[in-house]
Chain A
């Protein structure tokens, strides 16, 4: 059974810092990995999608990497801003059965001015 772990559970940084969020998964048989952002009481906003054949994806100040063989992904946020404060979730889509998404518990990020 696929398990997804995110470290740290919470992170507090001053504005302007670069930071890394970690995601690990137990079964490397995946189609892709997706990073989401969730604001309090809201739904999920897709940030980046990395296919299993890719090593990284970039969108603006965000860069996500994937090492499928070791079951790890990182989300790098450059020059953090208070507006980045949210919970960040990673999810993997398994490549067997009905290929649904399995989520981690998320990292709660607070960026202070």
Chain B
């Protein structure tokens, strides 16, 4: 079983609030990713990191921001939540080598009302 954890699992929050979704992994992986998934749709990459102090935007434009101050921790922040941010957010990690498996957390289902 993968050692990658996301909190909270479920979050209902009002419009305009600032939120941070947490993601931690204990595998020592250099690469970490955030994906967004709407029901019945494919996962879209919104942010990724290749190591400490490295962050890049993904294929899908997102109003969220990320930071990577420690190897094991990759939080995602929304400064002002809107109903359009309602979605499932999935965090993943993998070793630096490109030919290795990616492991996913259980996801955070965010609802903005």
Residues of A at the B interface (CB closer than 8 Å) are: 4, 31-32, 34, 36, 41-46, 49, 51, 89, 91, 93, 95, 98-106
Q: Which residues of B sit under 8 angstroms from A34, Cβ to Cβ?
A: 101-102
Complex interface bits, B27-62 against A, C-beta within 8 A gives 1, otherwise 0: 000000101000011110100101000001011000
* Interface residue? B113 (CB, 8 A): no
Q: Which residues of B sit under 8 angstroms from A101, Cβ to Cβ?
A: 33, 43, 45, 92, 102
- In angstroms, Cα B105 to Cα A101, docked, is 15
Q: Which residues of B sit under 8 angstroms from A45, Cβ to Cβ?
A: 104
With an 8 Å Cβ cutoff, the count of chain B residues facing the other chain is 28
User: Residue on B with the closest CB to A36?
Assistant: B104
User: Residue on B with the closest CB to A45?
Assistant: B104
User: Residue on B with the closest CB to A52?
Assistant: B99
Q: Are A105 and B42 in contact (CB-based, < 8 A)?
A: yes
- From A44, A49, A100, B45 is in contact (CB under 8 Å) with A100
The 9 closest A-B pairs by CB, nearest first: A44-B104, A43-B106, A99-B98, A103-B43, A43-B104, A105-B42, A103-B42, A31-B98, A43-B107
* Interface residue? B90 (CB, 8 A): yes
Other 16 A-B pairs with CB < 8 A, given A34-B101, A100-B33: A34-B102, A41-B88, A42-B106, A43-B6, A43-B90, A45-B104, A46-B103, A49-B100, A49-B101, A89-B42, A91-B43, A93-B98, A93-B99, A101-B33, A103-B43, A105-B40
Q: Are A42 and B99 in contact (CB-based, < 8 A)?
A: no
Q: Which residues of A sit under 8 angstroms from B106, Cβ to Cβ?
A: 42-43
Q: Are B42 and A104 in contact (CB-based, < 8 A)?
A: yes
B108 to chain A, nearest CB (A): 10
* Residues from 80 to 113 in B contacting A, C-beta threshold 8 Å: 88, 90, 92, 98-107, 109
